[in-house]
Copies of this chain bind each other. A is one copy, B any other.
């Protein structure tokens, strides 16, 4: 696949567009967040946690999904630093970590309400 000599119809516009594209690392960070929020159950989890902290079985109830499935999804959200957790005895409580995600979610919910 050779894409270096690609034909371009509007060089100036392309150059301007390219200069506005974030670097690979930033791009990866953004798409990771969007991918995390593109699964219905993960989105439900994040929306739920935007209100208050909840434990795993609470979140399973919110998602109407199994504890195991939710735990798997929480690991993904944890790895992306979207959620934090604290253990209290047998129960593990999750809450949102990144405030960017909170505002992103709240803005999105506002848009949907329109």
Contact = CB atoms under 8 A, between A and B. Distances in A.
Contacts of A57: 6-9
The 3 closest A-B pairs by CB, nearest first: A35-B38, A17-B48, A34-B38
Given A27-B40, A27-B44, A109 B22 contact: yes
Given A3-B66, A20-B50, A21-B44, 16 more contacts: A6-B57, A7-B57, A8-B57, A8-B61, A9-B55, A13-B58, A14-B54, A17-B47, A17-B49, A17-B62, A18-B48, A20-B51, A21-B62, A22-B112, A38-B38, A103-B107
Q: Would you call the interface of chain A mostly helix, strand, loop, or mixed?
A: helix
B100 A104 contact: no
Contacts of A14: 54, 58, 61-62
Nearest to A90: B9
Contacts of A60: 3, 6
Interface in A1-53: 1, 3, 6-10, 13-14, 16-18, 20-22, 26-32, 34-35, 37-40, 43-44, 47-52
